[in-house]
Structure 1
Amino acid sequence: MQERLLDLNEQLRRVNGTTRREVFDAEEAALLQPLPDHPFESVEYKQLKVGRNYHVTSDYQHYSVPYELAGKILSVRITATTVSIFDGQAKICEHPRKLGRRGQYSSELSHAPKHHQQVQGLWSREWFLNRARNYGPATVQVITQILDRSKIEAQAFLACRNILSELGGKKSSLEEACQEMLNINGYPNYTSLKRVMATLAAAKAQPAAAAPAAQNVKNLKDVQNLSGVFVRDAAHYKGFGGSHAE
């Protein structure tokens, strides 16, 4: 095959007396550009709104942007390896693309405000703790644990929002589930709390244990021992076969 290719390109002469190789060297070789440093990658563009935790979410993964852009719609360029975020034509930042487990965060410390509570329109630690206090002390403690275990607090904001808004329909149920989670020293998150709430609800729905039936055998000893009273017991009637003579 290789020999045939060489023959077609370099040995076989066309009507004008040139070979393919000679035409390439004379007309095309000088126009070639060097190959790119990186192989070709497919690209996807999305328009995404920045959340109140100053992250955009793509394919269930979260990428931070400067907090001043919260609420704004940005253009996001996604390849197999990178996520590039643009405000108009200006590139704001770029993150390695997160793959695998859902809900991962790629966050830059420089994107976070110094004092969340002083930034209008953003979620903050105090914002969530204030809402947790409406449910009870156990809920406050669970939300605090979730906020404290994140490298950057903003990484926990979405989980806190989901717990308080989606599981908090019944205040007493969420508070009870949080207390149970604290009692067993569990790892609180949306999924584990939802599971505990379902378990507690199922336990409440079980019917109460049936009370034992009342005793239907009469105790005749006290009556038989009374002076002047004679009461026949069951053995007296065994010989009658179900019929009684007068």
Structure 2
Amino acid sequence: MVNTVEKRVIGYLAEETWTTFAELNEAIAERLVDANERIHRPDGTTRQQRFDAEEAPFLMPLPQLPFESVEWKELKLGRNYHVGSDYQYYSVPYQLAGRTLRVRLTSSTVTIFDGQQIVREHARKIGRKGQYSTVLEHVPKQHRNIDGLWSRPWFLDLARSFGPSTVQVITQVLDRYPIEAQGYLPCKNILTGLGKKNKARLEAASQQALNLGGHPTYGTLKRIMAAIASDAQAGGPPVPAASGQQREEHHP
């Protein structure tokens, strides 16, 4: 067939010129009809007749959906009942928290399995890191009484061991998200990441971040803590920034 194509298609059209691919494809299609249906083989049949009689009956229908490459992962469901993949997060019913789930990723979907059962399918998030796909039915109505899950009281109780400024920062982080659970991971990173080795420095950084206004984030606090550490190495202990509140003066 290669020899036939070279002679009947490429060779036949070699001296012609086209200005669009549509015109070229139309000319090629006409030459293929000639090669497959008009030229007879030594036994008197055409290539199209042989194909219809010997090969076509064994062909299976094309799948309804086009082929997509698939990636499989095993991911542990976090205490915020979201699985994370490629820095994007997808919710699962909170009752499954702590389990290792199978996750199938295509270019367009994220399908989460508990064993062989599909738990949830999400549209795959792309672009900016840290996006959430959260289904409201996956969110527990009461967090405090559910063991093994993160909650606002859990993070605020932990923040109190750092100081009032840290509590205020954590409160702002939790209030920033339309679904509170989406703020749990940033809170964890702040409290158990930045504050793991130096509670006093995180409290001082939190106060400085609040004085600056805006919305304190993990990145902001990390930069402030680095500056405080640099100042401490230059000499003198870290001193929290003033809270901005005026003291009441007492006169005798």
Same fold (TM over 0.5): yes
- CA displacement at 1:34 relative to structure 2: 4.5
2:207 equivalent in structure 1:
179
- State how many pairs are aligned: 208
Q: Distance in 2 between matches of 1:207 and 1:92?
A: 56
The within-5 A match list for 1:102-141 is: 102-141=129-168
- What is the alpha-carbon distance in structure 2 between the residues aligned to residue 186 and residue 180 of structure 1? 11
Match of 1:165 in 2: 192
1:192 to 207, 217, 220: 220
Hey, what's the Cα distance between the residues in 1 that align with 2:233 and 2:148?
41
SS of the aligned residue for 1:116 comes to: coil
Amino acid at match of 2:220: S
Gaps of 5+ in 2: 1-8, 10-27, 237-252
Query: Does 1:65 pair with 2:73?
Result: no
- In the alignment, the residues of structure 1 paired with residue 150 and residue 210 of structure 2 have an alpha-carbon distance, to the nearest angstrom, of 25
The one-letter code sitting in structure 2 at the alignment partner of 1:77 is: R
State the secondary structure of the residue aligned to 1:24: helix
Length-normalised TM-score, structure 1 = 0.79
Deviation for aligned residue 1:87: 1.0
Partner Cα distance (2:60, 2:126) in 1: 34
Amino acid at match of 1:162: N
* Residues 1:41 and 2:68 aligned together: yes
Identity of aligned residues (%): 59
Residue 89 of structure 1: aligned partner:
116
> Which whole-Å CA distance do the structure 2 matches of 1:80 and 1:164 have between them?
34
The structure with the largest alpha-carbon Rg is 1
1:238 aligned residue: none
**C-alpha RMSD over aligned residues:** 1.7
Instruction: Give the letter for the 1:60 counterpart.
Output: Y
- The SS at the match of 2:111 is strand
Superposition deviation, residue 90 in structure 1:
1.1
TM-score by length of 2: 0.77
Which sections of structure 1, spanning at least 5 residues, go unmatched?
209-246
Are the counterparts in 1 of residues 71 and 104 from structure 2 also a CA contact under 8 Å? yes
